[in-house]
Amino acid sequence: MNTFNSLDIIKIIFKWRKPILWVTGIFLVLGGLISAPQIMKPKYKSISILYPANLTAYGSESTTEQMLQILESEELMNEVSIRLDLKKHYDISETEKYPHTVLMDEIKKNIDITKTEFESVEIKVLDQDPKFAVKIIETIIEEFNNKARNLQREKTLEIVNLAKSELDKKKRELDSMEVAIRDIRVNDGIINYEAQSKVVTKEYLRALAKDQKSVSLGKVSPMFESLQQNGGNFIALSENLWRVRANYNDIKLQYESALKDINKQLTYANIITHAFPAEKKSYPIRWLIVLGAGISALILSLLTALIVENFKKVQVQVVTKDPLLQSINDN
């Protein structure tokens, strides 16, 4: 196996210095041309940082993770695309085989949404128009608020419907019990069991003590019997009515509170860093492209020189070891 030491490599570099310099120079020029604004359109970056607000976490996920899921959803990006006509902006024709897939690829290349170490969410947008990059971020945030609001309203609407159903059920129960109590009051004359029972009992006992079969006893006795027969039912209905009415009022408060939540116009993102139009381009980094092209050319030309020199070295060794080849070479 043939190897080169440091001295050999230096000799090879010196021998091939002109081709190496020429190739490196050509690649440097090509790198400069390729990264020129006329060929590689410059893009400007805008950034916004958000914290979640008014979101309800589900299960073990945090509100930041919930925010990230909504922001990264294809449904949200579709809404942003429709509002800003991103297909036209990215020059995507409807006649293409998969226009939607191409659009999503462009969105992924130009829009980056990530969770930061501080539990916030960072939105980065690259675009050829710095003002349009800001507009994309603002539209994403607006659509996020709309989507989060709709999700919250869907959950709240479930609570409203459930509370309304319970409210109607309790109302029917209340009406039924109030009818039953009203019947007792009308038919049996029981208005206030405790007050009436005290008076009737007192009068009844007084009449009995005098051993009277009088008008007084005749008036008191039917009421006394009515209280005996229906008093327990009246008390049970009254106490149950009080409990059902209290339960009805609790459900009503819950229903009214949920109803207010549906009509609230909340925002679900606190903007810590607002996006603004960039003054300097972020892509491409021209000096990096030129430097990369030059280094690649330098390495490639050095490797080519080493391979050629190694091949020559092998040929010389083969000729030296083979007498026939050596004699042919001498002749």
Taking only the tens place, the pLDDT of each residue in 269-316 is 889 989 888 877 766 666 676 677 778 877 887 788 777 777 776 665
Strands 269-273 and 44-52 come out as antiparallel
The phi and psi torsions of 117 (rounded to 5 degrees) equal -70, -15
In a domain, 66, yes or no: no
Residues 172 and 221 grouped into a single domain: yes
On whether both 166 and 218 belong to a single domain, the answer is yes
Residue 111 is assigned to a structural domain of this protein: no
Same domain, 211 and 245: yes
Structure token pair of residue 128: 């050829």
pLDDT at 26 over 70: yes
Whether 134 is in a domain gets the answer no
Same domain, 224 and 257: yes
139, part of any domain? no
Q: Mean per-residue pLDDT for 230-258?
A: 73
Helix or strand holding residue 63 (H, E):
helix 63-72
| Domain count across the chain | 2
Shared domain for 161 and 228, answered yes or no, is: yes
Partners of residue 44 on adjacent β-strands:
127
**Are 178 and 254 members of one domain?**
yes
Position 104 in a domain: no
| pLDDT band at residue 84 using 50, 70 and 90 as cut-offs | very high
Say whether pLDDT at 249 is over 80: yes
The verdict on residue 50 lying in a domain is no
Q: Domain check: are 210 and 301 in the same one?
A: no
Q: What's the domain range around 254? A: 156-263
Stronger pLDDT, 56 or 186, i.e. the higher one: 56
Do residues 256 and 299 share a domain? no
293 and 216 in a common domain = no
Residue bearing the bigger pLDDT, 208 or 127: 127
Domain membership flag for residue 238: yes
> Cβ(110)–Cβ(80) under 8 Å?
no
| 164 and 240 inside one domain | yes
Residue 183 banded pLDDT, cuts 50, 70, 90 = low
- Per-residue pLDDT band at 232 (split at 50, 70, 90): low
pLDDT at 1: 44
My answer on whether 180 and 233 are in the same domain is yes
Same domain for 247 and 160: yes
The residue-averaged pLDDT of 147-155 equals 85
